[in-house]
């Protein structure tokens, strides 16, 4: 039982809740996620099973795509609606599309972002949210992130009664990006308090939301004794890496952890997927100092 379940994480659940439930459903402890997703956020959460736990870190490095909403006119201490209201300023004149697009464009490219206090980042051995719950604010170093794009996906709406405006967006970003903080930074660009009022992750680890399965569907697949319905094989999870089909002699070398020459990749790709008898057996990484490929991740069991 090796592969990746592209889980649809429902709202109200933590990523660790998902891991715990899957361990019970699948009757295995070899289950690992590829980065957490806040309880109030739904969407794609790739879960690695068996040998695939060895690629959790690789999937974690991939870019992510989110769709959500930013509401202008209110601010919360948690930067989302789970926290406490800390500021309220009426939006007297709704932003135009031109103003919205200009502010979104300012938050693209390589930028520095300071992690929010309500986050799991550790400082002096404690998570930031532990300090935040005690009313303590800690100095945080900004981190470099990449925002590939940040765009509107439908017209903004204005609430006449609440005097707030809501903007609907899609963002493609790097690992480590706090979309909540992007929402707050957007508000700063336009001079208004703001909050991330909705968020769904639609792509992560190379899987999009159309490929996801719910916990209920995983349970049904186990009952039907057909995990192929929900389990994506290693070959699919590692499809981005150029593949090389091993013959018997080279399989013998790989099975003993040996090195391979550069002929396995005419383009000298940094990482090559090695297959034997239609199964992924290893990822090999080019060691430029010795001009050979050496083991990077092994799936020999």
For the question of residue 38 being annotated catalytic, the response is: yes
Residue 128 Cα to chain centre, angstroms: 20
Among the options 38, 80, 185, 198, which is catalytic? 38
3-state SS class at 173: strand
* Structural tokens at position 5: 């379940």
Q: What are phi and psi of 83, to 5 degrees?
A: -95, -150
What does DSSP assign to residue 80? B
Query: Which residues 6+ apart lie within 8 Å of 35 measured at CB?
Result: 15, 60, 175, 204
Query: Which residues 6+ apart lie within 8 Å of 290 measured at CB?
Result: 259
Q: What does the CA dihedral 234, 237, 240, 243 come to, rounded to 10 degrees?
A: 10
Pick from 183, 161, 163: nearest CA to 173: 183
H-state helical runs in 115-233: 128-133, 179-190, 215-223
Instruction: In whole angstroms, give the CA distance from residue 132 to residue 102.
Output: 32
Instruction: In whole angstroms, give the CA distance from residue 190 to residue 197.
Output: 17
Instruction: In whole angstroms, give the CA distance from residue 272 to residue 298.
Output: 12
Instruction: In whole angstroms, give the CA distance from residue 68 to residue 143.
Output: 22
Q: Which residues are catalytic?
A: 38
């Amino acid at each position: 039982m090796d592969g990746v379940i592209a889980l649809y994480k429902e709202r109200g659940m933590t990523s660790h809740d998902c891991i715990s439930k899957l361990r019970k459903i699948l009757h295995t402890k070899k289950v690992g996620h590829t980065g957490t997703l806040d309880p109030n956020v739904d969407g794609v959460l790739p879960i690695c099973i068996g040998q695939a736990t060895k690629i959790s870190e690789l999937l974690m490095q991939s870019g992510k795509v989110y769709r959500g909403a930013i509401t202008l006119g209110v601010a919360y201490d948690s930067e989302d609606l789970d926290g406490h209201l800390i500021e309220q300023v009426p939006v007297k004149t709704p932003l135009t599309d031109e103003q919205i697009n200009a502010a979104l464009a300012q938050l693209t490219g390589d930028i520095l972002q300071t992690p929010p206090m309500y986050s799991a980042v550790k400082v002096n051995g404690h998570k930031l949210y532990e300090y935040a719950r005690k009313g303590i604010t800690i100095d945080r170093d900004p981190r470099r992130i990449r925002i590939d794009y940040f765009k509107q996906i439908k017209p903004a709406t204005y609430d006449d009664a609440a005097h707030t405006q809501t903007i609907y967006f899609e963002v493609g970003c790097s690992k480590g990006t706090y979309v909540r903080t992007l929402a707050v930074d957007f508000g700063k660009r336009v001079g208004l308090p703001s909050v991330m009022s909705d968020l769904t992750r639609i792509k992560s680890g190379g899987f999009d939301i159309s490929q996801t399965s719910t916990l209920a569907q995983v349970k049904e697949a186990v009952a039907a004794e057909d995990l192929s319905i929900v389990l994506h094989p290693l070959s699919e999870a590692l499809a981005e890496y150029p593949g090389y089909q091993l013959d018997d002699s080279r399989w013998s070398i790989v099975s003993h952890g040996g090195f391979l020459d550069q002929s396995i990749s005419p383009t000298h790709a940094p990482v090559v997927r090695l297959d034997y008898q239609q199964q992924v057996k290893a990822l090999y990484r080019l060691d430029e100092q010795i001009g050979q490929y050496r083991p990077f991740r092994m799936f020999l069991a």
